[in-house]
Amino acid sequence: MLATEKLIGFVPITDAARAKSFYAEKLGLKFVSEDSFAVVFDANGNMLRLTRMNEVKPQAFTILGWQVSDIVGTVKRLHEAGVTFERLGNFMQQDELGIWAAPGGAKVAWFKDPDGNTLSVSQH
């Protein structure tokens, strides 16, 4: 029923100005609008609503990710823009850029937004 409809992503935030700066300037997303409920971005044709909340309780898992064609180049460009990639400890061997190679062949790197939400880039 929904297979042909566009997906909208929702990410909770507490500080609209700080989140707007991060998603626009560091991640390069196109700003669309802002109101008392959300800051809205265009994420390659998909709507991303950064929903204003009084409090955000970051989850221990990825809540939003991008599939990229060149993870090494993407991670380098994000790092140059000021994004810090997470190190997940010895149980997941990551390379010098913070990229983990999954047993199935996917490659993933994780980072956090200003509210501590875990985001990722991956190459499949």
Q: Is 2 a member of any domain?
A: no
Confidence of residue 49 (pLDDT cuts 50, 70, 90): very high
How many structural domains compose the chain?
Answer: 1
Please tell me the pTM assigned to this model: 0.93
* Residue 71 is assigned to a structural domain of this protein: yes
CATH code of the domain containing 112 = 3.10.180.10
39 found inside a domain: yes
Within a domain: residue 85? yes
pLDDT tens for 71-109 read 999 999 999 999 999 998 777 899 999 999 999 999 999
The 3-state secondary structure of 45-108 reads CEEEEEEECCCCCCCCCEEEEEECCCHHHHHHHHHHCCCCECCCCCCCCECCCCCEECCCCCEE
Q: What is the mean pLDDT of residues 46-70?
A: 97
Quote the pLDDT of residue 88: 86
**Partners of 42 in the beta sheet?**
30, 47
Whether residue 35 lies inside any domain: the answer is yes
Is 114 inside any structural domain?
Answer: yes
Residue 94 belongs to what domain range?
A: 8-123
23 and 111 Cβ atoms separated by less than 8 Å: no
